[in-house]
Amino acid sequence: MDTPEQRIQIAVQKTGRLTDHSIDLLERCGLIVTKSKNQLICYGENMPIDLLLVRDDDIPGLVSEDVCDLGIVGLNIVEEKRLGLLAEGSEALFKQIYELDFGHCRLSLAASDGVNYSGPESLQNKRIATSYVAILREYLNKHEVDAETVYFSGAVEIAPKLGRADYICDLVSTGGTLAANGLQEVDVLLDSEAVVIQTQAPLGDAKQALVDKILQRLDGVLQVRESKYIMLHAPRSALAEIRNLLPGSEAPTVMPLDGNDDKVAVHAVCRENVFWETLENLQAAGASSLLVLPVEKMLA
Ligand code: PRT
Ligand code: ZN
């Protein structure tokens, strides 16, 4: 086995909303790891890459302190850490390098139903409960509003009911939790999703080459997620219209059909989902023998 210095350590959430997606994504990049969520480290069996399973809040720090080379974590946690360090006069030693298109949520301000919110000035002299003190502070400073932040480590949404705060600033995804607690979303501070962060410490050529390879594979995996391979027959005369109907496709391959000069076969990778309506429109334009296939892997 390679020495720890030659292996890449990726910090991943141990148990939570990002865990399965993060590990699944790395597996789809070709990584095979020893599976045991109860241990701290999952060792890569076929690549010199190990996963460190930790609490999401610890991931930016582990990457910043160069304990891990990469981390997969919500942008909300990354921004909170970065702004928290800035407020203390230091700097985060990680860079955000990739958006992963899962773990989508937003950090929002919410107030009890019926509260009249007319912009950040409505927060003047109010109390706001949050776990995201640094992001909230920056927002208040930006809008030159004076408000009291009340720190809650969890269950922020009950703060107004307890009389501890006038507003809350918390993550929202469907909005169900806010609604269940009689709260309404009034402003969005940050749109978040899972991202990859990398330490700013130099990795050395071999490690950097491996990181680049993983990122290229991630790119391929993310691109194929919505992509479909579409095959159809089309009258030559309808080719221009049919090309226009193919969603998000680059130049399709057009091939003659044996013994039929009027029709051609068209094959295209569509980088968006292909819906029934699209197929029906293609058919109405003269296409026939339509076939839509999932794309397994893609390398640009
Ligand atoms: O133990 P550990 O510290 O690792 O986990 P955790 O409990 O802090 O985090 P976890 O697993 O709950 O969330 C991990 C990450 O998922 C977050 O940092 C976000 O980047 C992302 N994410 C996406 C969310 C949500 N959606 C989300 N809805 N994180 C939390 N929520 C919570 C929110 O705090 C609120 O309580 O879900 C509730 C709201 O959801 P809706 O759907 O009712 O609006
Ligand atoms: Zn956490």
DSSP secondary structure, 17-76, as one string? TTHHHHHHHHHHTT--B---TTSSEEEBSSSSEEEEEE-GGGHHHHHHTTSSSEEEEEHH
Structure tokens at 89: 């006069």
Mean pLDDT for the stretch of residues 230-236: 96
The number of the ligand nearest the C-alpha atom of 17 reads 1
Q: How many whole angstroms separate alpha carbon 226 and alpha carbon 273?
A: 5
What residue owns the CA closest to ligand 1's atom 1? Answer: 55
The amino acid at 209: A
- The answer, yes or no, to whether residue 189 has pLDDT greater than 70, is yes
176 lines ligand 1 (CB under 6 A): yes
Provide the pLDDT for residue 5.
Answer: 66
- Within 8 A by CB and 6+ apart from 260, the residues are none
- The answer, yes or no, to whether residue 84 has pLDDT greater than 80, is yes
Least confident of 70-74, 259-263, 288-292: 259-263
Provide the pLDDT for residue 227.
Answer: 86
What residue owns the CA closest to ligand 1's atom 32? Answer: 171
- Cα Rg, the chain, nearest whole Å: 25
61 lines ligand 1 (CB under 6 A): no
Contact of 103 with 157, CB cutoff 8 Å: no
Q: Which residue shows structure tokens 């912009």? A: 119
Provide the pLDDT for residue 249.
Answer: 72
Residue 41, class by beta-carbon neighbours within 10 Å (0-12 exposed, 13-18 middle, 19+ buried)?
middle
Topology, domain 4-102+194-223: D-Maltodextrin-Binding Protein; domain 2 (3.40.190)
Q: How many whole angstroms separate alpha carbon 172 and alpha carbon 174?
A: 6
Centre of ligand 1 from the C-alpha of residue 67, in Å: 25
Q: How many percent of the chain have pLDDT more than 70?
A: 97
Higher pLDDT, 38 or 225: 225
- The answer, yes or no, to whether residue 1 has pLDDT greater than 60, is no
Contact of 242 with 287, CB cutoff 8 Å: yes
Provide the pLDDT for residue 231.
Answer: 96
Provide the pLDDT for residue 247.
Answer: 78
Structure tokens at 64: 């910043």
Centre of ligand 1 from the C-alpha of residue 107, in Å: 10
247 lines ligand 1 (CB under 6 A): no
Q: How many Cβ atoms are within 10 Å of 231's Cβ, its own excluded?
A: 15
Provide the pLDDT for residue 296.
Answer: 86
Least confident of 48-57, 99-108, 177-186, 288-297: 288-297
Higher pLDDT, 53 or 38: 53
Provide the pLDDT for residue 4.
Answer: 59
- Within 8 A by CB and 6+ apart from 46, the residues are 30, 31, 32
**Domain 4-102+194-223 identical in fold to domain 105-192:** yes
55 lines ligand 1 (CB under 6 A): yes
Q: How many whole angstroms separate alpha carbon 159 and alpha carbon 177?
A: 13
11 lines ligand 1 (CB under 6 A): no
Topology, domain 228-294: Alpha-Beta Plaits (3.30.70)
Mean pLDDT, rounded, of the chain = 93
Centre of ligand 2 from the C-alpha of residue 291, in Å: 44
Least confident of 125-129, 188-192, 292-296: 292-296
Ligand 1 atom with minimal separation from the 54 CA: 4
Provide the pLDDT for residue 31.
Answer: 95
Provide the pLDDT for residue 3.
Answer: 61
Provide the pLDDT for residue 47.
Answer: 94
Its CATH architecture, for the domain 105-192, is 3-Layer(aba) Sandwich (3.40)
Q: Where are the domains of the chain?
A: 4-102+194-223, 105-192, 228-294
- pLDDT band at 37, cuts 50/70/90? low
What residue owns the CA closest to ligand 1's atom 17? Answer: 74
Centre of ligand 1 from the C-alpha of residue 224, in Å: 26
The amino acid at 217: R
Per DSSP, the three-state class of 133 is helix
Each as own residue / partner, the long-range contacts of residues 21-28 (CB below 8 Å, 24 or more positions apart, any chain) are: 21/100, 21/102, 21/103, 21/194, 22/72, 22/194, 23/51, 25/72, 25/100, 25/102, 25/218, 25/221, 26/51, 26/214, 28/221
Q: How many whole angstroms separate alpha carbon 16 and alpha carbon 78?
A: 16
pLDDT tens digits along 146-155: 999 999 999 9
Per DSSP, the three-state class of 264 is strand
Centre of ligand 1 from the C-alpha of residue 102, in Å: 12
pTM (predicted TM-score): 0.88
17, 23, 177, 189: residue to mutate for ligand 1 pocket, most atoms within 8 A of CB: 17
